Structure 1
Amino acid sequence: MQDAPLVQPRPAISWQRMAMTAAGVAGAVVFIEGMLNRETRDQLSPAEQSLLHDTFKYTGGGLVLTALAARGMFKSGVAYRIMAANPWLVLGVSLVGGIGTMMGVFYTPPEKSIQKHLFWLGFNACQAATLSPLFFFSPAILSRAALYTVGIVGSLSYVGATARNDKYLNLGGPLLAGITVVALSSLAPMALPLGVRGLAVTEAISLYGGLALFGGFVLYDTQKILHHARLAQQGLMKRDPMNEAISLELDMINIFIRLVQILAMQNNRK
């Protein structure tokens, strides 16, 4: 008698663990606020509150559209074709499409609302195509990574919003230098013949270094939004929450991707 094939069930979502994680995130917000913001700023002005609120509305809307589109692409088989394609081709197409639509959003003035929203939808579609292969991971891993991402970004955004004016804006230069290192460490295995130890080092830099780096970008981008709100109030620039949302959305996507990879690695070790 032939043995039946063994099918490994996907791990179920533990709502108790989710609740404990949410409580831990709330505690972490209080701790981080106390550590990083010993001197807090004055209360946000109405202009700062308005731009921050509208920016997070576009960020949340973009992420919801990206998730739904990525899920649809996965179910339709687009993710399989992406995984089977040449990695350099996928990288090139995703870079051209993502950067092109992002530049379209940035350089379209707010007055041209329809054109700007079309570029914004195109940007989210490009992100969805890039993220659709993540649905090969179990729903438990994706749910935990999403919850952790919201907790990390929410806490760091709160810290950035309550910190003294421009406290974290001087992080721009070091963060740009760091993203170059992380990008090179991500591309190195595709271009260079690295040994096992070299692969482990580049993977650690890409995952954990990238996680810390994009956490820093959340602080920087939150304070940049408030700075732009003050400039717009003075008439020195146009108020544009969609442009601000693109940066935060990219921060969240990069944090989410790395958390999925880290959780998957931990799950494989069990």
Structure 2
Amino acid sequence: MSFVLRRPFAVSSTAFKQFSKPSNVIRAFHSSSPKSSNFFNPRPLTSTSNAQSLLKSQALRNGFKRSYQTPSYQPANPAASGNLTQRLVMGAALVGGTILATNLIFNRETREDGGMPPFEREYLNQTFMHTGLGVGIIALAARTLHQSGWSYRLMATNPWLVVGLGLAASFGTMYGTFYTHPDNYIQKYALWTAFNVTQAAILTPLMFMSPAILARAGLYTVGMMGSIAFIGATAKQEKYLYLGGPLLAGVAIVAISGFAPLVLPATAVRTLAWTENIWLYGGLAVFGGFTLYDVQKILHHARMSERGLVRKDVVNESISLELDFLNIFIRMVQILSMRQNNRR
């Protein structure tokens, strides 16, 4: 044993004795292969078994098959498109009826010069174009500021600070635009753009309202101002210029009623309700009158500009109409939101 352990690679002769006799397990290369058993060989499939297995596999695939074919889309409310069309038609009829009614009531005495001269028409069209452009700048700037989070920071600020800075920025840019010479285009339009952006920064919290309410308020404002502007443009010359003094007194009362919630205590419910009604409906009447007055004032300035008495400045004229539009629009939004809350 010790010898074997000393030579680990030596193999004893008895170890080869078990391999001396050939075994049937070891197969020579020239011998034939033994017959294999049928245990590991698949059974031959008949035609019946083939058909059954095919049907089973097909049924299995169909059972786990996921269908991606969706049914054709059908609107949940088939009358939704009809209701939208009906609302648009009713809105257009309302605007057209308002224009016709105001024309019949307030514009019985038309111009005696046979219509608007070309210079006045061009002056008025350019003023309306700048008004629409200014309102578009305000809407775009308000949307951009709202998405940047300006509305939240503005509402978290002290209201007196917001009012003070807002009025200072508005009056500063507005009077800067007024006193800039029309020939100085860069400074004129820069201050005018700054005025529009200032208005957008103040009105940004309106973006919290529903887009449907904002769209309806814009449509009603355009209809109201369009009908009143049509009356002012086709009425007799300088017919409504006398409204300047009474409208100035009315806007002072409306402004004081607007500051009432900042001064009066919350317990004065009835007084606050009266001041809110004055601010809403009185403001609509006052700024509707200002629209009529401003249109006739624009035509008066057009005639003076044609004679060489004043310089042509449609940017200054558009600011007045922009302020009328914004004040009417804000009140329309508040009235529509109050009606929606009452329906709930």
Could you say whether these structures have the same fold, taking a TM-score greater than 0.5 normalized by the shorter chain as the test? yes
- Out of 17, 20, 26, the position equivalent to 2:96 is 26
Query: Paired residue for 1:5?
Result: none
**In 2, Cα distance between equivalents of 1:73 and 1:17:** 31
SS of the residue aligned with 2:259? helix
**In 2, Cα distance between equivalents of 1:188 and 1:230:** 41
Partners of 1:188 and 1:202 within 8 A in 2 = yes
Q: How many residues align?
A: 258
Query: Paired residue for 1:7?
Result: none
**In 2, Cα distance between equivalents of 1:106 and 1:142:** 30
Query: Paired residue for 2:208?
Result: 136
Partners of 1:40 and 1:164 within 8 A in 2 = yes
Q: Which amino acid aligns with 1:22?
A: A
SS of the residue aligned with 2:238? coil
Partners of 1:18 and 1:144 within 8 A in 2 = no
Q: Which amino acid aligns with 1:135?
A: M
Query: Paired residue for 1:71?
Result: 143
| 1:28 Cα deviation from its structure 2 partner | 1.2
Query: Paired residue for 1:40?
Result: 110
- Out of 262, 265, 270, the position equivalent to 2:335 is 262
> 5 Å matches for 1:48-67?
48-67=120-139
Segments of structure 1 that go 5 or more residues without pairing to the other structure are: 1-12
**In 2, Cα distance between equivalents of 1:127 and 1:229:** 27
Query: Paired residue for 1:221?
Result: 294
Segments of structure 2 that go 5 or more residues without pairing to the other structure are: 1-82
* Structure (1/2) with the larger helix percentage: 1
* Matched-pair identity in %: 56
- Give the TM-score normalised by the residue count of structure 1: 0.94
Partners of 1:58 and 1:245 within 8 A in 2 = yes
Query: Paired residue for 1:6?
Result: none
SS of the residue aligned with 2:171? helix
Task: Provide the alpha-carbon RMSD of the alignment.
Answer: 1.1
2:146 paired with 1:103: no
- Give the TM-score normalised by the residue count of structure 2: 0.74
Greater mean deviation of Cα atoms: 192-201 or 174-183: 192-201
SS of the residue aligned with 1:17? helix
Query: Paired residue for 1:209?
Result: 282
* Highest RCO, 1 vs 2 (Cα 8 Å, sep ≥ 6): 1
